[in-house]
């Protein structure tokens, strides 16, 4: 029988302490240390092998380690080109968002395309339940093997027997290591199981994808150390009443981060969206008040997003500010700049701003579009429907330059827009002869150029009232 010891583990960061403390010494959170009994397993003595001998970098070969491209191009984009042999990828998301559906589709396509067995380990659903979902998704699965097991030692034994080309674990919170005296899903269990899967993946050069639950705060359940152990962290996001899903990369050791893949959830599973910009744009934007379009960058991909705003006379003493899909702090800054520099009397107005389509827009390049949408709603004057707005709004009202404007303009031109408000300091060329660039210095000039004829110079007084 292995010996056991009592430790206090932080549920937030996984920091272990020999005694209970009110404040975690690792992350600084209060009341997060819980008592856990951990078995002490004596590891066998390691012997030095040739594989452990230091080797010059010039003599190391990388043949046979090419990426494994999947049929779903959106997943390849988020992963940086495909699965890397020996990598461990974590897919997180809220319950019912489609994590199991995505992993089942990826496993089935991998088995069909590469002609190698794929092992799908499920600790949450039975074989008949998985078969029912596969039938609904139109998956045959000749080389897709289903295993209902939560004992990690038994799972690894089956992985060694089958020698699969891909392993899917659904989910990491359901599997457990028998020698760890702790319930499945606990801090020590999740950390130890992930570490052993990493060891197996590196040794066999087999990619492993695991599903992870998220907490009410939207973070991966379990210690933050779990995200440091894995090679790639993906989040599957979506609005509760929307059929669109966004797969976002927040960590990738083998590619760029902040890449996104756009999917639509249908009866036969997740389907790629060929033109993602159409998801975030209204089909009829003619004479729409309180709406502006901005080309944003999600990783290496430019997307056109519609920003909507609504101003209304407040019914309370304190006007409210509401942001949906936008940074609340940026909305407060933009509202203050419009009040002080553009002389819009927003002190008595509730301001509501939203990014359509379920995408969360964080970059400052959307400041000008948000400001135009608010000004359009306040003046009841629509923004030119053929215009996009690009620029960061400074505290003095100036329009500041943003990176990669040429790529944003090319996407706007491709979707039929013919005008663009850009910072005066931007040194860019028009993407086509019919595309007009309007260079603006400050927010007042941007409002005059961006709104239609209903907003004239006399609507923008030279001093506050």
Q: What is the pLDDT of residues 228-249, one digit of tens each?
A: 889 999 999 887 677 888 898 8
Residue 96 labeled ligand binder = yes
Does the structure show a pLDDT above 80 at 290? yes
Give pLDDT tens digits for 367-378.
999 999 999 999
Q: What is the CATH number of domain 279-457?
A: 3.30.230.10
Residue 290 labeled ligand binder = no
Per-residue confidence (pLDDT) for residue 458, from 0 to 100 = 44
Residue 97 labeled ligand binder = yes
Does the structure show a pLDDT above 60 at 131? yes
3-state secondary structure the chain: CCEEEEEEEECCCCCEECCCCCECCCCCCECCEEEEEEEECCCCCCCCCHHHCCCCHHHCCCCCCCCECCCCHHHHHHHCCCECCCCEEEEEECCCCCHHHHHHHHHHHHHHHHCCCEEEEECCCCHHHHHHHHHHHCCCCCCEEEEECCEHHHHHHHHHHHCCCEEEEECCCCCECCCCCCCCCCHHHHHHHHHHHHHHHHHHCCCEEEEECECCCCCECCCCHHHHHCCEEEEEECCCCCCEEEEEEEEECCCCCCCEEEEEEECCEEEECCCHHHHHCCCCCCCCCCEEEEEEEECCEEEEEEEEEEEEECCCCCCCEEEECECHHHHHHHHHHHHHHCCCCCCCEEEEEEEHHHCCECCHHHHHHHHHHHHHHHHCCCECCCEEECCEECCCCEEECCCCHHHHHHHHHHCCCCEEEEECCCCCCCCCCCCEEEEECEHHHHHHHHECCCCCHHHCCCCCC
Residue 99 labeled ligand binder = yes
Q: Residues of the chain with pLDDT > 70: what percent?
A: 88
Residue 165 labeled ligand binder = no
Residue 62 labeled ligand binder = no
Least confident residue range of 229-243, 342-356, 383-397, 445-459: 445-459
Residue 98 labeled ligand binder = yes
Residue 93 labeled ligand binder = yes
Does the structure show a pLDDT above 50 at 105? yes
State the pTM of this model. 0.77
Superfamily in which the 69-274 domain is placed by CATH = P-loop containing nucleotide triphosphate hydrolases (3.40.50.300)
Does the structure show a pLDDT above 70 at 50? no
């Amino acid at each position: 029988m292995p010996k056991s010891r009592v430790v206090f583990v932080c549920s937030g960061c996984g920091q272990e302490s020999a005694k209970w403390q009110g404040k975690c010494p690792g992350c600084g959170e209060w009341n997060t240390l819980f008592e856990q009994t951990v078995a002490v397993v004596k590891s066998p003595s390691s012997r030095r092998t040739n594989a452990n001998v230091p080797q010059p970098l010039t003599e190391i070969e990388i043949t046979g380690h090419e990426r494994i491209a999947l049929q779903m191009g959106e997943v390849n984009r988020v992963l940086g080109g495909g699965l890397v042999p020996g990598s461990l990828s974590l897919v997180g998301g809220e319950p019912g968002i489609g994590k199991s559906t995505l992993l089942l589709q990826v496993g089935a396509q991998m088995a069909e395309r590469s002609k190698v067995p794929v092992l799908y380990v499920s600790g949450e659903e039975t074989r008949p339940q998985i078969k029912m979902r596969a039938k609904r998704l139109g998956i045959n699965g000749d080389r897709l093997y289903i295993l209902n097991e939560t004992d990690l030692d038994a799972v690894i034994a089956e992985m060694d027997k089958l020698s699969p080309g891909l392993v899917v674990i659904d989910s990491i919170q359901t599997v457990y290591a028998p020698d760890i005296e702790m319930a499945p899903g606990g801090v020590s269990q999740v950390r130890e199981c992930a570490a052993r899967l990493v060891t197996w993946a590196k040794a066999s050069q087999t990619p492993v994808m695991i599903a992870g639950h998220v907490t009410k705060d939207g973070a991966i359940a379990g210690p933050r150390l779990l995200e440091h152990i894995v090679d790639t962290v993906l989040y599957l996001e979506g609005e509760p009443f929307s059929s669109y899903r966004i797969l976002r990369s927040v960590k990738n050791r083998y590619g760029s981060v902040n890449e996104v893949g756009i999917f639509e959830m249908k009866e036969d599973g997740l389907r790629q969206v060929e033109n993602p910009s159409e998801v975030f744009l209204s089909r009829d934007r003619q004479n729409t008040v309180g709406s502006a379009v901005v080309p944003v960058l999600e990783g290496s991909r430019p997307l056109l997003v519609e920003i909507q705003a609504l101003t209304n006379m407040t019914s309370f003493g304190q006007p409210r500010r509401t942001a949906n899909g936008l940074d609340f702090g940026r909305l407060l800054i933009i509202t203050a700049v419009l009040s002080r520099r553009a002389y819009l009397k927003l002190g008595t107005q509730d301001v509501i701003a939203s990014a359509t389509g379920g995408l969360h827009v964080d970059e400052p390049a959307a400041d000008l579009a948000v400001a135009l949408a608010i000004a359009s709603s306040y003046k009841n004057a629509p923004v030119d429907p053929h215009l996009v707005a690009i620029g960061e709004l400074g505290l003095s009202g100036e329009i500041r330059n943003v990176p990669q404007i040429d790529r944003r303009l090319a996407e706007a031109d491709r979707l039929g827009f013919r005008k663009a408000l850009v910072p005066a300091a931007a040194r860019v060329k028009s993407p086509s002869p019919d595309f007009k660039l309007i260079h603006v210095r400050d927010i007042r000039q941007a409002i005059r150029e961006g709104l239609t004829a209903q907003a004239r110079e006399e609507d923008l007084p030279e001093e506050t009232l």
